[in-house]
Amino acid sequence: MKKPLLICIIALSLTACADKQQYEQAVLEQMQQEQDVKDYKIEPEKMTACVMDLSSSNMPGLFAFDPARMTAYRNYTKMLTLSKAADPKKTLEELRNDFGSPKALAEAHTNFTESFMECIASNISKNEDAAKSEK
């Protein structure tokens, strides 16, 4: 009885890690392309970590391995890579269905955008404080 349970937990953990890593990679690619990140000389990796933390805290699911959270990671990844899709209109329709409604998709996009904006503001403030303390 313990072995099947352990195997299920391991399989679930691996899937959750893969979904989270794909989302993290999509966020990193987005940060590397963001002009504000370049202009303010913010490390894309720091922005990625910040955006991951903030956006994940507002996703469905209580913890990283929650099935709802894993689905959210997959959906957010798909949302961030929409421009790379072979058929963006079809993918957008799929996203609306995946999120449950157009409103839920808009809320997810808002979550990501607000997380990004908060991280930009936080990093700019830190950089300014560091510059002041150097003088």
* 128 contacts: CB under 8 Å, gap ≥ 6: none
Look up residue 40 and give its two tokens: 């303010």
pLDDT tens-digit map of 8-37: 444 444 444 788 999 999 999 999 999 999
Q: By three-state DSSP, how is residue 60 classified? A: coil
pLDDT tens-digit map of 69-117: 999 999 999 999 999 999 999 999 999 999 999 999 999 999 999 999 9
Please give the torsion angle defined by the CA atoms of residues 72, 26, 80 and 120, in that order, rounded to the nearest 10 degrees. Answer: 100
The gap from C-alpha 120 to its chain's centroid, in whole angstroms, comes to 15
pLDDT of residue 4: 54
**Which pTM does this prediction carry?**
0.84
* CA dist., res. 94 & res. 116, Å (int): 24
Residue 107, CA distances (Å) to 30, 66, 102, 114 in order: 19, 20, 9, 10
* CA dist., res. 129 & res. 108, Å (int): 32
pLDDT above 60 (res 6): no
